[in-house]
Copies of this chain bind each other. A is one copy, B any other.
């Protein structure tokens, strides 16, 4: 019976070591590795443009396209995939794009806004004022839009869906970028990639707050006025 006990203890000890490895050692590894800490599956999808055929803009509407002889394609294209990723938004959509003139994409964004997704758009001042820009459409539908106030370009072209999915590349949100240009978009939910873009969006969003700009101008004007008054009273 002494040997049977020894045998039992050895088995139990070996089992304990296995469990220790599985739940302690592996857990620690999971925490230290950024990529593995990702909950769910990792998305790394690359989309290239131009699309060989033009996607049907009615395809993504409820019930799909009902046209009998529709001249547009209903197959999967880079544009249709981009729209699918955008439409996966449940809570927020942060859009930071140099230019947006594609009505189909603008409608997708507006539809999300109407569904209750909190949409924020950050764009370039000069591009915003160009003919064809959809910024007027966003504003008329009640979407918050901010723009830079520099002589340089706000040249980013990225979108963040639900603070967890990044869509980024060379792609401007124009019709020419979809059907003519050579363009690319990377779609990823890797936290190590998405997190810096969330930070950059918030930084620019805060920087270009219209109220803040007005406040700063008023402060500067008051400071200069006080300085002038002080100089006059001192007889400078």
Contacts and interface: CB of A to CB of B under 8 A. Distances in A.
The SS class assigned to the A binding surface is mixed
A152 interface: yes
A217 to B, nearest CB: 22
B50 A152 contact: yes
Nearest to A152: B180
A180 B7 contact: no
A78 to B, nearest CB: 12
B46 A35 contact: no
B180 A156 contact: no
A227 interface: no
**Range, interface on chain A:** 35 or more
A34 to B, nearest CB: 8
A97 B151 CA distance: 23
Interface string A139-160: 0000000001011111111100
Interface in A188-206: 188, 190, 192-193, 196-197, 200, 204
A183 interface: yes
User: Counting chain B CB atoms within 10 Å of each CB, which of A10, A42, A186 scores highest?
Assistant: A186
A73 interface: no
A18 to B, nearest CB: 6
